[in-house]
Amino acid sequence: MTITTPAPVTIIGAGLGGLTLARVLHLHGIPATVHEAEPSPSARAQGGLLDIHEHDGQLALDAAGLTDEFRAIVLEGRQAMRLLDTDGTVLLDRPDDGTGGRPEVQRGELRRILLDSLPAGTVRWGRKVTRTRALGEGRFEVAFADGDTVTTGLLVGADGAWSRVRPLLSPAEPEYVGTSFVETYLFEADTRHPAAAKAVGGGFMMAPAPGLEIFAHREGGDTLHAYVALSRPQDWFETIDFAEGDAALARIAREFAGWAPELTALITESDTAPVLRSHHALPRGHRWERVPGVTLLGDAAHLTAPNGDGANLAMLDGAELGKALAAHPDDIEAALTEYEQAMFTRSAEVPTFEGADLHKIDSENNTAPWLLRAFLEHEKEGRG
């Protein structure tokens, strides 16, 4: 059965993927409505820096006609990278020479330029989905917490890890992968936290050890944003009261006993209460059989533990889905089939370097010297 593109396309979730889809559809004259659970664009902080890759995120922004706007929000110098041992020894200090292909932007700023590119009223805020159900013949009903419902002939789940749309396609549910981040911020770092600021440098810093890691970015406004990674079961974290900020930070810091003080300062000197980010993933290679009138993108489709490519892939999903719908305006199923087959392949082939499978937080290879050797070998192979 051939079904033509309905108006509007119903998108659940105003993250980067859902907004990219709405923008590409808008450029092709296809109306869309985005339903978002958050009450407003400023309801919560949108996270830290994102490196936007040439092979996916930048392609999506080009398809969205937003390359100039993207370039205007790039934070210069943030592609610098440092690798530190746990005693503070700097093993790699690579400046940002302007030749890298992964410029850094604030996630919130990237979301803003996407929102600003859409017609007024495209995003409906405060629309928390409570249930979705199939009505037959490619039609779906979406119910919201405020008691309202909408019916649509093209439903896109861009609603993240705990998607309410995914059950229409797949019984898969995210599972905890054994690792969590504890997120901290240090403000006015050069003057108030000089030792930590010197350790981080001008861009990205990484200090790994088996079962433990500290990552940090230098963001705009002299802010250090740190991700303290621990390989621990969920019930271990449940013993920590994160509402008691100082006590929680002290408990986390004890796991890093013996580390250099300039590194543990990224924990103990946090200017904000620590935030726990547990990592979940869908089964590797997650896919589903084609169901008329509904599909998924981003984390709703292929959630993984953080690997540096999630936001980029979500945006590329949105762009590619929008392009497929524009290319097949008289046949939704042809468009969704084309999109899904490419997306399944793309999400299973995130580029990495040989030996990266050995670099897991709980691996004995998760050390700064091992990573340095792996990076240098990878670069040598790339040049050879």
Binding-site entries: 44, 51, 107, 299
Binding site as annotated, residues for FAD: 51, 107, 299
Phi, psi of 316 (to 5 degrees): -65, -40
In whole angstroms, give the CA distance from residue 241 to residue 247: 8
In whole angstroms, give the CA distance from residue 315 to residue 326: 17
Which residues have C-beta within 8 Å of that of residue 152, sequence separation ≥ 6?
A: 6, 9, 10, 139, 140, 142, 293
Bridge partners, 34 (sequence order): 11, 123
Planar angle of CA 363, 368, 372, nearest 5 degrees: 110
Radius of gyration of the chain (CA): 22
Binding site as annotated, residues for NADPH: 44
Residue 354: is it exposed, middle or buried by C-beta count within 10 angstroms (0-12/13-18/19+)?
exposed
What is the β-pairing status of strands 123-124 and 32-35? parallel
Which residues have C-beta within 8 Å of that of residue 194, sequence separation ≥ 6?
A: none
Please give the DSSP secondary-structure letter assigned to residue 365: T
